[in-house]
C-alpha cells in the first residue's frame, strides 16, 4: 500500500486506481466526507509507482505530513 499524506486543512491524499484499474492518480478527501476527488494538477499514470512519485513530490512542495493509512 502506498503512502498517505495530510495537509494543513486536514485533507487526506493518496494514490488510487481509476475506473478499470489500469491507470493511477492521486486523490484527496476532505474531513468529514466520504468521496474522493482527483488532484487536478497531477497526471494519470499507467504505473502506480509513478503516481506515488508524483504525490510524494506534490506533498513535499505543499508541506504535507505523512500519516498512517486508514
Walk along the chain (70 residues) and give the pLDDT tens digit of each residue: 799 999 999 999 999 999 888 999 999 999 999 999 999 999 999 999 999 999 999 999 999 999 998 7
Please give the tally of structural domains in the chain. Answer: 1
Among 14, 13, 20, 12, CA closest to 46: 20
Entry field: residues in the chain: 70
Spatial distance between the Cα atoms of 52 and 59, rounded to a whole number of angstroms? 10
Number of neighbouring beta carbons within 10 Å of residue 14: 20
Q: Domain containing 35: what range?
A: 4-67
Amino acid at each position: 500500500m502506498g503512502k498517505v499524506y495530510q495537509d494543513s486543512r486536514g485533507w487526506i491524499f493518496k494514490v488510487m486506481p481509476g475506473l478499470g484499474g489500469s491507470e493511477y492518480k492521486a486523490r484527496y478527501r476532505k474531513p468529514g466526507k466520504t468521496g474522493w476527488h482527483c488532484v487536478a494538477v497531477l497526471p494519470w499514470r499507467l504505473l502506480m509507482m509513478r503516481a506515488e512519485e508524483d504525490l510524494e513530490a506534490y506533498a513535499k512542495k505543499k508541506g504535507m505530513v505523512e500519516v498512517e493509512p486508514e
